[in-house]
């Protein structure tokens, strides 16, 4: 395997894309067979990672016009509803229902039946989407491109040089994006803004993952922090959606007639908000953005220096090898 400091950017991009396309194929069958929530989750993650990779490495790639990202985005959105319902069902069954008294469980029976019906319908729509000719044709075309990838001249540069030339500006742009001023996003009424922030965090995390071979310790710490923030905001969103879904389907009053459930939901949301505020204080604002940019600039300098040294060593090795072989060749 080539060193990340000497392999070409095109080689690295193609390897990432191939890995993610293989994951789409691997999880396709288990999702169609409805083998639990995990295959659907993994399929959605693979779709998101592939979309980010194709966007991030777009300056290098020469893709057929038919390979539109909108097709992948559409399929991923269709899978989203089924995944959300899976998460709600798991949260109820594993965390909330075991703590409820019999009277509240009885009141929740119609809600649970409705959620199961919606879950079955959503999974039927997922199966239809994955069997659709548009998606299957897109996937086949992606596999065909991978057999003989086509690139722009930028792909010939080393990954280390690419980090400087176009990768770093792409990732660093996120650090100064207005969405990152999230130290003030600590109110439940700002759900839409928090959802948008979560998408930005996920984008930054996946892009850092795609350049992981060149990242130093400080940048890898940001990867961990992004993952924590993404998961915290995801759990918070799930709790809000669950609360609303139950309230919408109940003829009773949630706080009055299901006080234990209402209390559990309230405790969980307060815990999430407390954890989120701590993360926001450490990771938001101009100072944290500058820390991220500083880490990436340090990785850039280190990548260039190490890449140059390795290229020089490679040239010396070739020269020594040629000098050593030349006399025997003459004889």
Tens of pLDDT along the chain (331 residues) come to 456 666 788 999 999 999 999 999 999 999 999 888 999 999 999 999 999 999 989 988 999 988 888 888 888 888 988 988 898 888 898 889 999 999 999 988 888 898 889 989 999 999 999 999 999 999 999 999 999 999 999 888 877 776 655 555 555 555 555 545 555 555 555 666 777 778 888 888 888 888 888 788 888 888 888 888 888 888 888 888 888 888 888 776 788 888 999 999 989 988 888 888 787 777 666 566 677 777 777 777 777 666 555 444 444 333 433 343 444 443 3
pLDDT of residue 263: 93
Q: Cβ contacts of residue 48 below 8 Å, gap of 6+?
A: 76, 202, 206
Q: How far apart are CA 262 and CA 186, in angstroms?
A: 21
Q: How far apart are CA 69 and CA 63, in angstroms?
A: 11
pLDDT of residue 319: 41
| Spatial contact of 180 and 226, defined as CB atoms under 8 Å apart | no
Q: 8 forms bridges with which residues in the sheet?
A: 158
For residue 3, is it within any domain?
no
The domain of 305 spans 9-330
pLDDT of residue 276: 80
How many domains does the structure of the chain reveal?
Answer: 1
| Spatial contact of 31 and 160, defined as CB atoms under 8 Å apart | no
**CATH of residue 153:** 1.40.20.10
For residue 72, is it within any domain?
yes
Rounded (10°) angle between helices 259-283 and 102-131: 60
For residue 4, is it within any domain?
no
Helices (H), the chain: 9-32, 37-56, 69-91, 102-131, 133-147, 159-162, 168-175, 191-210, 217-249, 254-257, 259-283, 285-330
Task: Give the SS3 label for residue 61.
Answer: strand
pLDDT of residue 63: 93
For residue 316, is it within any domain?
yes
For residue 1, is it within any domain?
no
pLDDT of residue 315: 41
pLDDT of residue 174: 53
Write out the two tokens for 273: 């908000």
Whose CA is closest to 182, among 288, 52, 291?
A: 288
pLDDT of residue 310: 45
For residue 71, is it within any domain?
yes
For residue 2, is it within any domain?
no
Q: Cβ contacts of residue 133 below 8 Å, gap of 6+?
A: none
Residue 260 CB neighbours (<10 A): 14
pLDDT of residue 321: 34
Phi, psi dihedrals of residue 3, rounded to the nearest 5°? -70, 145
For residue 261, is it within any domain?
yes
DSSP 8-state class, residue 253 = -
| Spatial contact of 245 and 88, defined as CB atoms under 8 Å apart | yes
| Spatial contact of 111 and 249, defined as CB atoms under 8 Å apart | yes
């Amino acid at each position: 395997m080539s060193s990340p400091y000497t392999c070409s950017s095109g080689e690295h991009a193609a390897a990432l894309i191939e890995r993610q396309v293989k994951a789409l194929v691997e999880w396709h069958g288990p999702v169609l067979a409805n083998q639990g929530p995990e295959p659907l989750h993994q399929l959605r993650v693979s779709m998101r990672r592939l979309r980010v990779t194709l966007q991030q490495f777009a300056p290098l790639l020469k893709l057929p016009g038919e390979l539109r990202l909108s097709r992948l985005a559409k399929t991923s959105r269709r899978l989203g509803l089924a995944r959300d319902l899976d998460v709600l069902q798991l949260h109820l069954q594993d965390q909330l229902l075991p703590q409820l008294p019999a009277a509240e469980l009885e009141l929740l029976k119609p809600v649970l039946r409705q959620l199961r019906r919606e879950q079955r319908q959503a999974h039927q729509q997922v199966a239809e989407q994955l069997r659709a000719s548009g998606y299957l044709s897109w996937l086949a075309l992606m596999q065909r491109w991978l057999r003989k990838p086509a690139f722009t001249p930028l792909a010939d540069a080393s990954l280390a040089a690419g980090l400087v030339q176009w990768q770093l500006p792409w990732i660093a742009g996120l650090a100064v994006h207005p969405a990152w001023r999230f130290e003030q996003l600590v109110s439940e009424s700002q759900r839409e803004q928090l959802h948008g922030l979560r998408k930005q965090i996920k984008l930054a995390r996946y892009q850092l993952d795609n350049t992981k071979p060149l990242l130093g310790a400080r940048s890898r710490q940001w990867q961990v922090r992004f993952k924590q923030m993404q998961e915290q905001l995801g759990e918070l969103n799930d709790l809000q959606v669950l609360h609303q879904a139950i309230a919408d389907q109940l003829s009773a009053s949630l706080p009055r007639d299901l006080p234990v459930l209402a209390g559990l939901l309230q405790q969980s949301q307060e815990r999430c908000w407390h954890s989120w505020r701590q993360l926001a204080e450490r990771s938001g604002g101009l100072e944290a953005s500058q820390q991220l940019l500083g880490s990436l600039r340090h990785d850039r300098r280190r990548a260039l220096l190490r890449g140059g040294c390795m290229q020089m060593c490679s040239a010396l090795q070739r020269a020594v090898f040629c000098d050593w072989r030349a006399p025997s060749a003459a004889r």
